[in-house]
A and B are shown apart, each in its own frame.
Chain A
């Protein structure tokens, strides 16, 4: 059986287009995150001020099951490990405060942002669920 050349060509073209789109989307997102990291946390949009503690901003929405069933317990676990008073938690409802989500480059929920104790540097922006081990590591860097 010989391979139909036109169909092979279609599959190759589709695969290349998808690959290019993935690479482009990833590089654009990386650039955006890098810009947000450079400019530092937008405390004004949060309506809060740094208080000398490492901070986790947790973005969720009321109907996001993963936010409440997985991300919230993971954050709670890390705060228990490191001390509730040592890590500040700011919860943001991305549906009610989309401008805050935009300011931090959040594309999906759950998302978490880890900020240094000085309050002027973003250590990490996790798009999607962040396991407690990863958060703990990022918070160690933020100390």
Chain B
């Protein structure tokens, strides 16, 4: 746990959801581009901060300019980082499937499920993976 900028997290998450929706609207194969971009930002941005484009924009431009108000709160980001890696991998895999025209329905269903989870965290702060981990923890499964 630690103090984190909730505004930057939500801006990042809504942008990712919008990219996935845009990809879905564009269809195959063009929709692979926004989907791959979302996957790349999710995955690369987790390990290399300059690739975390939306957060960088929020911190360097939107918050200093007063377009968005910074809100800080204690949050469980350890589990969210794992969720981010998983989501990024699924979106990149989905983009590959959409690009190649293989199992496009499955690709959009999986990408959509991740997008719904991201939207839930962005809108009502419900971290699906955190919830699952807490439930499994209560059932006696160990993660640490």
Q: Decide: B25 and A7 in contact? CB cutoff 8 A.
A: yes
- Report which of B24, B76, B119 forms a contact with A7, defined as CB distance below 8 A: B24
Which residues of B71-91 have CB atoms within 8 Å of chain A's CB atoms?
74-76, 78
| Contact partners of A62 in chain B: CB under 8 A | 142
Q: In the bound complex, do residue B24 and residue A11 qualify as a contact, i.e. CB atoms below 8 Å apart? A: yes
Q: Which residues of B contact A95 (CB under 8 A)?
A: 137-140
Smallest CB-CB separation from B24: which chain A residue? Answer: A7
Distance of B4 from chain A, by nearest CB (Å)? 12
Q: Is the CB of A18 within 8 A of B78?
A: no
Measured as residues with beta carbon below 8 angstroms from the partner, the interface class of chain B is: 20 to 34
Evaluate contact between A61 and B137: CB separation under 8 angstroms.
Answer: yes
Chain B residue with Cβ nearest A22? B124
B contact patch SS: helix
Residues on A with C-beta less than 8 A from B142 are 62-63
A19 → B minimal CB distance (Å) = 9
Within 8 A of B (CB), among A1-42: 3-4, 7-8, 10-11, 14, 18, 22, 26
Question: In the complex the two chains form, is A69's CB within 8 Å of B1's CB?
Answer: yes
Question: Is A131 in contact with chain B by the CB < 8 A criterion?
Answer: yes
Contact A63 B144 (CB under 8 A): yes
Are the CB atoms of B76 and A129 closer together than 8 Å? yes
Query: Among residues 102 to 129 in chain A, which have CB atoms less than 8 Å away from a CB atom of chain B?
Result: 108-109, 129
B-contact bits for A64-86, CB 8 A (1 contact / 0 none): 11100110000000000000000
Chain A residues, CB < 8 A from B120: 18, 22
A98 close to B (CB within 8 Å): yes
Is B140 a contact of A18 with CB atoms below 8 Å?
no
The contact of A129 among B74, B116, B143, by CB within 8 Å, is: B74
Question: In the complex, how many angstroms separate the beta carbon of A74 from the nearest chain B beta carbon?
Answer: 8
Residues of A within 8 A of B (CB): 3-4, 7-8, 10-11, 14, 18, 22, 26, 61-66, 69-70, 94-95, 98, 101, 108-109, 129, 131
B-side interface residues toward A, CB under 8 Å?
1, 21, 24-25, 27, 74-76, 78, 112, 116, 119-120, 123-124, 126, 130-131, 134-135, 137-140, 142-144
The 5 closest A-B pairs by CB, nearest first: A70-B1, A108-B134, A61-B137, A63-B144, A63-B142
Ordered by A's residue number, 24 sampled pairs between the chains whose C-beta atoms are within 8 Å are: A3-B25, A7-B24, A8-B25, A10-B24, A11-B21, A18-B119, A22-B120, A26-B124, A61-B137, A62-B142, A63-B143, A63-B144, A66-B1, A70-B1, A94-B138, A95-B137, A98-B138, A108-B130, A108-B134, A108-B135, A109-B134, A109-B138, A129-B74, A131-B74
